[in-house]
């Protein structure tokens, strides 16, 4: 462990065996490493004297209470009590076992602990701060709710603000944020509806069933009602859970007045204020609207899932995963669907995979207008929208859905006024370990610059931030090797690097090897309809150390398949370890353990046999 000297404090009473054991080890280390460690003993003559110091009179205002919001420290009654003094603040370590673990990490070759540590700066929080709350979370989405409940678990006094500003088309929703109301949840349910339709249309007869006759086709209204009822149930459950966890829920819009004060406005326009020692901004993002003449006639993903009637013939503008997912389920439900693509599909994802997804969608009824953007929208009295494109062509649609990106929902939050640094291009907040340029204001999720826009990322970051703020943790969020899935008709799961990124990172393609396979999942094997576009997987491997850099999967249940490899990727799995793993037969996931064909060999990637 290089760097400045660690000042380690340990308190206990003279005849306590646990105190003496831990103090003895610390003393030895301070003799061996005098420039790296200084130990300060707080030894008391009796157990009662020690408890009086630690707990205080009537178990109030003891030394442990100076560790504001650190639940484990605030509850400790035993000996020893250890902490590290650093930069004017005290960082709780724990009791005997915790102290010995710290000693082991101190002398380990990896350094302090072998793990990365948070770079967060002291934010001035104290137990007697005098504000209304220890923490106020602005935004009641998945990340904000997770952070608030985790902080409350450690004894913090917490409030959550959540106020949904209507979309330009007038759509609103309840507590839970984008994912629950207008994102992951309704998207996957409608995606599943499309998959069910495909099975009924193409797969039942080979399995001995008679395909049902559907004289009316899919009923959008029935599906919408079921989906929205499910969402309303989730909204209610979130409110109940907050109450159970002692988190105050405020359905109000917040705006910073200063670094510790918010101005609140409720739905009736009534204005009030609250104060807090700390804030977490978790407002997420909102869809970018169409910037052309008549762009106000287009809707976004904020609106599509709650439409009262079927969107009918639909134009999806954009080649993002949101656009492709929506176009996929709309076409799967039997609707005439077109995607306007300005440049390439799924920018930022693996190019080979993106091309396969595009080909599959086109063969399954989705139309593509490539190299164009809408230049004008005109809405007729019957509600039809005539779209003129940049190449001069035009067509008429019932619905135009814009999915060209998202912008952080910070415009009216007042963060700039209190000195929080943002990216002027997208409104996102610049952070180090979720801490903004104003030390007591933090940010998590889609609102944070450089953060993957994924619900589980916001949830995990929120939990880990609350542990650092109120439970003495110093472990930062790890944003590397995060699994994700694109729910296009042919689902795509990925963890790690794309082939292009791996080549760029290595400096040349010759330093990586790509193993790949086209295969037919067993459940598809009886259906002729499934044969043109097989499932596909590939693994990108470093030739230097055999480490797996990326795993990509196209096929059924992509999320379930990919999630299982997430831990292995976090642990630095090698290709040899992957292929020495015994697969589960017959499954699609086992294909990863059987890969032998490389791209460099030039051999066909088509699988043979079961």
Name the phi and psi angles at 18, rounded to 5: -65, -40
Query: Distance between CA 26 and CA 28 in Å, rounded?
Result: 5
Reply yes or no: is the peptide bond before residue 539 cis, omega within 30 of 0.
no
Residues 6+ positions from 474 with CB-CB distance below 8 Å: 91, 117, 118, 468
Residues 6+ positions from 4 with CB-CB distance below 8 Å: none
Q: Distance of CA 401 to CAs 320, 325, 326, 407, 446, Å?
A: 12, 12, 9, 17, 21
Q: Where are the alpha helices (DSSP H) in 10-158?
A: 17-32, 47-55, 71-75, 96-106, 142-153
What's the full length of the chain, in residues? Answer: 610
Q: For CA atoms 378, 380, 385, 387, give the dihedral sign.
A: negative
SS3 357: helix
- Using an 8 Å Cβ cutoff, are 519 and 536 in contact? yes
The DSSP code sequence of 376-440 is EEEE-TTS-EEEEETTS-EEEESEEEE-S-EEES-TTTTTGGGT--B-TTT-PBP-BTTB-SSTT
Q: Distance of CA 452 to CAs 151, 390, 446, 458, 459, Å?
A: 23, 31, 7, 9, 12
Query: Distance between CA 319 and CA 343 in Å, rounded?
Result: 8
6-13 vs 37-44, strand pairing mode: parallel
From 191, 297, 364, 585, the catalytic residue: 585
The DSSP code sequence of 284-326 is -EEEPPP-SBTGGG-EEHHHHTT-SS---SEEEE--SHHHHHH
297 catalytic? Reply is no
- Beta-strand ranges (E) seen in 487-534 are 492-496, 512-519
Give the residue numbers annotated as catalytic, written as ranges: 585
């Amino acid at each position: 462990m290089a760097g400045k000297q660690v000042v380690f404090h340990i308190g206990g009473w003279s005849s306590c065996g646990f105190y003496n054991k831990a103090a003895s080890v610390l003393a030895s280390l301070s003799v061996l490493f005098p420039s790296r460690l200084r130990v300060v003993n707080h030894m008391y003559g009796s157990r009662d004297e020690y408890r009086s110091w630690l707990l205080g009179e009537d178990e109030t205002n003891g030394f442990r209470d100076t560790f504001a919001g650190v639940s484990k420290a605030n509850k400790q009654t035993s000996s020893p009590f250890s902490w590290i003094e650093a930069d004017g603040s005290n960082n709780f370590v724990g009791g005997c076992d915790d102290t010995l673990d710290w000693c082991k990490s101190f002398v380990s070759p990896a350094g302090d602990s072998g793990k990365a540590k948070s770079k967060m700066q002291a934010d001035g929080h104290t137990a007697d701060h005098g504000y209304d709350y220890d923490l106020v979370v602005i935004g009641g989405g998945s990340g904000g709710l997770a952070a608030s409940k985790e902080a409350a678990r450690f004894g913090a006094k917490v409030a959550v603000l959540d106020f949904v500003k209507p979309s330009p088309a007038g759509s609103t929703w309840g507590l839970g944020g984008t994912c629950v109301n207008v994102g992951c949840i309704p998207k996957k349910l409608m995606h599943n509806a499309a998959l069910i339709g495909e099975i009924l249309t193409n797969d039942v007869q080979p399995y001995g069933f008679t395909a049902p006759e559907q004289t009316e086709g899919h009923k959008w209204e029935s599906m919408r009602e079921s989906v929205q009822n499910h969402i309303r149930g989730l909204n209610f459950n979130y409110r109940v859970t907050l109450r159970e966890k002692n988190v105050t829920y405020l359905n109000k819009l917040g705006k910073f007045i200063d670094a510790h004060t918010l101005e609140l406005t409720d739905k009736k326009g009534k204005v009030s204020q609250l104060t807090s020692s700390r804030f977490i901004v978790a407002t997420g993002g909102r869809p970018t609207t169409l910037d052309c003449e008549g762009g106000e006639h287009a809707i976004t993903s904020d609106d599509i899932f709650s439409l009262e009637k079927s969107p009918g013939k639909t134009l999806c503008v954009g080649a993002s995963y949101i656009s492709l997912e929506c176009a996929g389920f709309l076409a799967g439900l039997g609707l005439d669907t077109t995607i306007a693509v300005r440049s390439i599909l799924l920018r930022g994802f693996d190019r080979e995979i993106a091309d396969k997804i595009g080909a599959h969608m086109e063969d399954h009824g989705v139309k593509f207008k490539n190299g164009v953007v809408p230049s004008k929208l005109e809405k007729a009295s019957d509600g039809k929208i005539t779209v003129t494109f940049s190449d001069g062509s035009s067509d008429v649609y019932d619905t135009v859905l814009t999915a060209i990106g998202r912008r952080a929902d910070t415009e009216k939050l007042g963060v700039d006024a209190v000195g929080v640094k943002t990216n002027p291009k997208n409104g996102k907040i610049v952070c180090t370990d979720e801490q903004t340029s104003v030390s007591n204001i933090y940010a998590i999720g889609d609102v944070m610059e450089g953060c993957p826009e994924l619900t589980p990322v916001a949830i995990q970051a929120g939990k880990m931030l609350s542990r650092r703020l109120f439970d003495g943790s110093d472990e930062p969020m790890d944003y590397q090797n995060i699994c994700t899935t694109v729910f296009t008709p042919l689902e795509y799961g990925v963890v790690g690097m794309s082939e292009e990124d791996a080549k760029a990172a290595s400096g040349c393609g010759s330093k990586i090897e790509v193993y790949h396979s086209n295969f037919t999942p067993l459940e598809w094997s009886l259906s002729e309809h499934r044969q043109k576009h097989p499932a596909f997987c590939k693994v990108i491997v470093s030739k230097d150390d055999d480490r797996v850099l990326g795993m990509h999967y196209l096929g059924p249940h992509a999320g379930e398949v990919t999630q299982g490899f997430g831990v292995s990727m976090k642990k630095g799995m090698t290709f040899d370890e992957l292929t020495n793993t015994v697969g589960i037969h017959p499954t699609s996931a086992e294909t990863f353990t059987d890969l032998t064909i490389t791209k460099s060999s030039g051999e066909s990637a088509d699988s043979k046999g079961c």
